């Protein structure tokens, strides 16, 4: 209770509840000459030798890409033209919140998804087929996977500042392909978002393959989100449960996974929620763990911050609330120097959040580091001017008071 009261009190002092810290400071989105908003990405045409066709992709760069030298993890989204709008919006929201790092999003447009996303040819009387003819073009997943590994990923790595961390996301047949890619080429992607996968395909052959795939893998350093809408129908929910049962039976070490059913959404409506939940799960280790909080040291905190950046890119950060909660615990324990270390990282991660700078300056004051307090207040003045937060006068008064006490 004491911690809660302290936290609320500091929130009030810093203006959290008035929006001064978070403030909904919007990033600018470029406009075309006729006033159309840009931001979803740019289409590129890859001349694929493997697929023997021209393949369109949509590349959406994170905000600030052109003004940084950072490398970014890449999210590859199947059925990209269909899913690019909600995916980019979700990625931007979660990035602003610090729940995921900034990502490059690659939407892979489908030209013949039944051909590219299915691991085997569908024979006669199969669901989705037409009588005895089956689905003649199906079974091209191996060639499509080779296109990803040998052409698309190298193209992205050669033309953009990519980090080595890669994610594959797919829905329905795309989810089926994601499961196939996990078991067929386990070094290409680090994580998967598998949404409502069509695991009914060819009498659940991917589940049968899983029984032999997972058995010899004592360790599997991958992260996988298996999600489906609670209202999904035939061929999806029970089939996914049976695949997950195989995973449970073997459960390799370092294999981080989650299976969940979301609400009562049907097959198509579930995509937005599954994308949101999936991304949050993949990057759930961004949050500060209890071990770091309970056994805090400045060196262990800074080491954990660097590990985060090594794994997800130098712009990876915790949610602002995570930093703030850790600071409030440290202040309550009388560890002001530790709190200062956390606030320094937080203010670097969220340079527009003036409340973090104000709190940092006050802790510098409290620990008799007046010169650093003055510099921090002055930095806050510049931030207030840049984002029109209206805090310049108060911050300058604090600077004047400190200078008077130094004389």
- Classify residue 10: in a domain, yes or no: no
- Asked if 274 and 149 sit in the same domain, the reply is yes
Q: pLDDT per residue over 176-235, tens digit each?
A: 999 999 999 979 999 999 999 999 999 999 999 999 999 888 899 999 999 999 999 877
Q: Give me the pLDDT at residue 134, please.
A: 62
Mean pLDDT throughout 65-80? 96
d(CA 114, CA 174): 10
Choose one of 266, 286, 306: the last residue of a domain: 286
- Asked if 206 and 312 sit in the same domain, the reply is no
Q: Give me the pLDDT at residue 61, please.
A: 94
Please, which residues have CB within 8 angstroms of residue 323's CB and are 6 or more apart in sequence?
Answer: 288, 342, 343, 345, 346, 349, 356
- Asked if 260 and 311 sit in the same domain, the reply is no
Choose one of 246, 264, 286: the last residue of a domain: 286
Count up the domains in the chain and report the number.
2
- Asked if 169 and 226 sit in the same domain, the reply is yes
Q: Give me the pLDDT at residue 137, please.
A: 87
**Any idea which of 132-141, 234-243, 250-259, 303-312 has the lowest mean pLDDT?**
132-141
Across the chain, mean pLDDT equals 89
- Asked if 309 and 245 sit in the same domain, the reply is no
With a pLDDT cut of 90, the percent of the chain lying above it is 80
Structure tokens given for 136? 């003649």
Q: Give me the pLDDT at residue 114, please.
A: 94
- Asked if 67 and 141 sit in the same domain, the reply is yes
- Asked if 64 and 206 sit in the same domain, the reply is yes
CATH number at residue 381: 1.25.40.10
**Closest-CA residue to 106 (of 48, 172, 56, 179):** 56
- Asked if 208 and 331 sit in the same domain, the reply is no
CATH number at residue 169: 3.40.50.1820
Please, which residues have CB within 8 angstroms of residue 29's CB and are 6 or more apart in sequence?
Answer: 37, 38, 39
Range of the domain at 369: 298-406
Q: Helices 354-366 and 336-349, interaxial angle, to 10°?
A: 160
pLDDT greater than 70 at residue 268:
yes
Q: In 249-276, which positions are buried (b, 16+ CB within 10 angstroms) versus exposed (e)?
A: ebebeebebbbebbeebebeebbbbbbb
- Classify residue 37: in a domain, yes or no: no
pLDDT greater than 70 at residue 5:
no
- Asked if 273 and 152 sit in the same domain, the reply is yes
Between these two residues, 33 and 262, which has the higher pLDDT value? Answer: 262
pLDDT greater than 60 at residue 129:
no
pTM surpassing 0.75? Answer: yes
d(CA 361, CA 244): 51
**Closest-CA residue to 83 (of 201, 204, 215, 193):** 193
Q: Give me the pLDDT at residue 181, please.
A: 98
d(CA 259, CA 257): 7
pLDDT greater than 70 at residue 132:
no
């Amino acid at each position: 209770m004491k911690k809660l009261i302290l936290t609320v009190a500091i929130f009030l002092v810093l203006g959290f509840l008035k929006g001064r810290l978070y403030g909904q400071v919007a990033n600018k989105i470029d406009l075309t000459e006729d006033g159309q908003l840009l931001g979803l990405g740019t289409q590129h045409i890859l001349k694929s030798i493997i697929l023997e066709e021209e393949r369109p992709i949509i590349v959406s760069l994170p905000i600030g890409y052109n003004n940084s030298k950072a490398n970014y993890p890449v999210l590859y989204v199947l059925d990209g033209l269909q899913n690019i709008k909600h995916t980019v919006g979700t990625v931007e929201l979660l990035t602003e919140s610090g729940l995921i790092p900034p990502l490059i999003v690659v939407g892979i447009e489908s030209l013949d998804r039944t051909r590219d996303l299915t691991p085997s040819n569908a024979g006669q009387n199969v669901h989705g087929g037409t009588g005895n003819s089956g689905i003649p073009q199906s079974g091209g997943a191996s060639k499509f996977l080779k296109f990803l590994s040998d052409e698309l990923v190298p193209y992205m790595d050669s033309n953009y500042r990519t980090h080595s961390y890669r994610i594959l996301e797919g829905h329905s047949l795309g989810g089926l392909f994601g499961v196939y890619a996990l078991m067929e080429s386990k070094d290409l992607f680090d994580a998967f978002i598998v949404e409502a996968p069509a695991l009914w395909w060819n009498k659940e052959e991917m589940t049968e393959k899983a029984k032999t795939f997972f058995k010899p893998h004592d360790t599997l350093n991958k992260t996988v989100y298996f999600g489906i809408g609670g209202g999904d129908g035939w061929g999806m929910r029970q089939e996914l449960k049976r695949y997950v049962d195989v995973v449970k039976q073997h459960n390799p070490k370092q294999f981080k996974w989650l299976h969940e059913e979301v609400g009562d959404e049907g097959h198509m409506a579930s995509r937005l929620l599954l994308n949101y939940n999936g991304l949050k799960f993949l990057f759930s280790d961004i949050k500060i763990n209890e071990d770091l909080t309970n056994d805090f040291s400045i060196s262990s905190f800074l080491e954990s911050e660097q590990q985060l950046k090594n794994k997800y890119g130098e712009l990876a950060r915790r949610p602002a609330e995570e930093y703030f909660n850790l600071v409030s615990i440290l202040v309550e324990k009388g560890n002001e120097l530790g709190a200062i270390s956390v606030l320094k990282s937080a203010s670097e991660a969220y340079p527009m959040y003036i409340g973090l700078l104000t709190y940092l300056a006050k802790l510098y004051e409290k620990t008799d580091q007046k010169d650093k307090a003055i510099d921090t207040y002055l930095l806050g003045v510049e931030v207030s001017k840049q984002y029109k937060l209206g805090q310049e006068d108060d911050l300058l008064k604090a600077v004047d008071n400190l200078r008077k006490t130094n004389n």
